[in-house]
Structure 1
Amino acid sequence: MKLYRIFRALFRGYFTVANRYEVIGADHIPAQGSVMLCSNHISNWDPMLIGSGANRTVHYMAKSELFKIPVFNKLITAWGAFPVNRGAGDRQSLRVALQVLEDGKCMGLFPEGHRSKTGELGEGQTGVAFFALRSNCVVIPVAIVGSYRLFRKVRIAYGKPLDLSRYREGKSSKETLTQVTQEIMSAIGELQKANRMEVPKR
């Protein structure tokens, strides 16, 4: 925990100098209880940025191969990452992530499942809806806007918690999971539009 705070301070310093980073809506993140931060995904820097803007320890799923790299495995563990064995199928991923939320922790998730090469928001995978409904966690949409290019501004906006209570009353059918996923992705998209910045002229 102490090492995490040190890393967060270092990343905040870096993003402040390198990207003039701006944080909006961090007060929307509950100080306690299970929370899922659902963000668009544009760079490998995204987990560091999301964690830098939040005042809670944010946990992430990371492929187990990364934890076999000496030194690096300790660094990503200190930053809140936990291993997921992709070869074992989706079930193991679900169990590990659900346990994080059931323990009342904060988890960062990228519903698209991969980085966007264009910066445009893609389709979300229904796993995000499964976590949201099964864990009964607070779901916060997150939008990363801008560029990580040196001295280009980047903004991270945390939206208000989504009200998914109407979906939690019945069974989590495939249709329900699709609807919840679409609602989460729509909220991320709206947050992107609301915080869009002008691209500086060259």
Structure 2
Amino acid sequence: MNLYPLGKALCTAVLKPFYRIKVIGQENFPKEQGVLLCTNHIDNLDPPVVGLTAPRPVHFMAKEELFQLPVLKAVLPNVNAFPVKRGLSDRQAIRKALELLRSGQVVGMFPEGTRSKTGELGKGLTGAGFFALKGDALVMPCAIIGPYRPFKQLKVVYGEPIDMTPMRERKASAEEATEAIMDAIQMLIEKNS
């Protein structure tokens, strides 16, 4: 049973007024085709906040440990999340993400791999670059500009999509692609902070 529309409505009703969420650049979001949505990670609430502000349903890669928790293991698969084993080459998660991207869906990921303790953008992991190059999709940089404080404005900024075709054609490395994605996110943070 897909609970995504219900989850989005609930999160919008609760989180949007509580954090005074302001969305910038939503018109940049591609209306169709596969999209790899890459976002900085500053809080546990980032996935629902991105989910409620993105104009299309987002399939999030989530660390496998979350699928072991009693309530979350029932909810997560029904809100388009799928597990990934961190620190390993998880073939099943890789296959699932590529399949979603190639079928025109939106896959959300946090290239840093974990939450930033300082709020500063950390180093991106090469997985983001790998999916950007192999997924045959546009890359959508997104910046969450906080911190999360009740009734203080939180911004979610969507940048211009990055066309990875030139990088694919010259067989760029996953590291180089990840750097380009992280640079785009950093620019959004600097421009909108």
Taking structure 1 as the reference length, what is the TM-score of the superposition?
Answer: 0.87
Distance (whole Å) between structure 1 residues aligned to residue 79 and residue 189 of structure 2:
26
The residue identity in structure 2 corresponding to 1:194 is K
Identity %: 46
Counterpart Cα distance in 2 of 1:19 and 1:48 = 12
Unpaired runs of 5+ in structure 2?
A: none
Are residue 188 (structure 1) and residue 185 (structure 2) matched? Answer: yes
Q: Distance in 2 between matches of 1:77 and 1:93?
A: 13
- Asked whether 1:40 is paired with 2:37, we answer no
Q: Which residue identity lines up with residue 177 of structure 2 in the other structure?
A: V
Write the distance in 2 (CA, Å) between the matches of 1:87 and 1:42.
Answer: 20
Match of 1:164 in 2: 164
Q: In the alignment, which residue of structure 1 is the partner of 2:29?
A: 29
- The correspondence of residues 96-107 of structure 1 with structure 2, limited to 5 A, is 96-107=96-107
**1:48-197 → structure 2 map (5 Å cutoff):** 48-86=48-86, 89-172=89-172, 176-196=173-193
Q: Which letter does structure 2 place at the counterpart of 1:98?
A: L
Q: Alignment partner of 1:23: what SS?
A: strand
Letter in 2 for 1:156: V
Give the Cα–Cα distance (whole angstroms) in 2 for the partners of residues 43 and 162 of structure 1.
Answer: 25
CA distance in 2, matches of 1:122, 1:88: 20
In structure 2, the residue matched to 1:18 is: 18
The 3 A distance-change label for structure 1 pair 2 and 114 is closer
Q: Residue 86 of structure 1 contacts residue 93 of structure 1 at CA under 8 Å; is this kept in 2?
A: no
1:103-148 Cα offsets, whole Å, 9 max, x none, are 2210111111111000001111111111011111010100000121
Conserved? CA contact 1:43–1:115, under 8 Å: yes
CA distance in 2 between counterparts of 1:186 and 1:31 reads 24
CA contact (8 A) 1:61 1:84 kept: yes
